[in-house]
Structure 1
Amino acid sequence: MWAKNARAAARRAREDEELRAAGRPVPSAAGAMTEARQDELDAIDPGWCPAWDTGWQRCYRLVKNHVQAGGTLPTVDGDVVVQGEDLGRWVNAQRHGWEQLLPVQQWILENTLKITPAEDNERPVKQTQDAKWALNLRAAQQLHAREGHLRVPRKHAEHLASADTLSGRQNATDEPVVVKLGTWLDNVRKRAGKLPEQRRAELDELGMRWS
């Protein structure tokens, strides 16, 4: 909350300065941040920018801290979660949404974290419903082979060895895929009556409990 209020105050101070420079009347300075205070915040974090989305800056700082501590740049969703933030998901979102970033954000990502825009052949491929089912079923089969059952909490995630079932592409990567299997199994149970007979049978083979 303090950080949010501080950024709001900094924005207010900047807007007041712009009005003064333009010779326009400036409203009450209540709530605005002094230049000295902004300097103090900059001394704590030189990358602090009150004009940017706080969530973006938070994730950037968490990724930077992770890398500076000796970790590799997260590139897989779900692999590195810090303070509730999925760092791999955030990194991938920056790469695939490069055109929506400000030039200075692009520069920061390239020069401090070596993050570059995604190539055309890296663009995510929209999955069909059959492909999504196959991927989740594969995760369920892997869990069953290892544990002998499908009884997992809703938050359980299964890590598959590669993405070869994700899109059917010949150049599919060997990076692991994180499947939110607990959520999928819970959702499947809730719509059991609408499942095609074949799909229900596939889960029955794995000892699926429907209630």
Structure 2
Amino acid sequence: MQQWVCEQVLGIEPATEDEKPQPRHTQADKWAMKYETAKQFHEREGHLRVPRKHVETIVVDSDGDECQEEREIKLGACRQPSAAGPPPSPSSEWNSSLRSACAGHNSLLLGLS
């Protein structure tokens, strides 16, 4: 019904293949592109200690055609936040004072007082 109204009443034709939006990249596609970018960086530099603001340029095939396009990947932003190491653990003094402060409240919550 909607298609008929669009075509007959409003005079709107369906979009051609050129006018349709490009399909979105899946997470697998994005990870594959970042992996290839990291491999390229590693081959050139010999390590993967990527500076935080580093942008790597990679050449990719566009839609399986013969033409290729250059893309800039923010490789430094791809690092996991845990790359700097685990967060520092609270001191044992802080832990013991916290436990003693909460001890009375736990017994109240459990109805043990």
Provide TM-score, normalisation by structure 2. 0.50
Is 1:148 the equivalent of 2:46? yes
Gaps of 5+ in 1: 1-118, 193-208
Q: Aligned in 2, Cα 1:160/1:121: closer, same or farther, shift over 3 Å?
A: farther
In 2: Cα distance, 1:170 partner to 1:138 partner: 17
Q: Percent identity?
A: 41
1:16-55 → structure 2 map (5 Å cutoff): none
What does the per-residue CA deviation read over 1:154-203, in whole Å, with 9 as the maximum and x for residues that have no partner? 21011012x22xx6x22263121111100012xxx23x6xxxxxxxxxxx
**Match in the other structure for 1:126:** 24
Runs of 4+ in 1 over 6 A off after TM superposition: none
- Alignment-mate amino acid for residue 156 of structure 1: H
In 2: Cα distance, 1:176 partner to 1:146 partner: 17
Gaps of 5+ in 2: 1-16, 86-113
Structure (1/2) with the larger helix percentage: 1
Provide TM-score, normalisation by structure 1. 0.29
- Alignment-mate amino acid for residue 132 of structure 1: K
- Aligned-residue CA RMSD (Å): 2.7
**Match in the other structure for 1:175:** 69
Q: Aligned in 2, Cα 1:123/1:172: closer, same or farther, shift over 3 Å?
A: farther
| Greater relative contact order, per chain length (Cα 8 Å cut-off, separation 6+) | 2
Structure (1/2) with the larger strand percentage: 2
Q: Deviation of residue 121 (structure 1)?
A: 6.9
Larger Rg: 2
The count of aligned residue pairs is 69
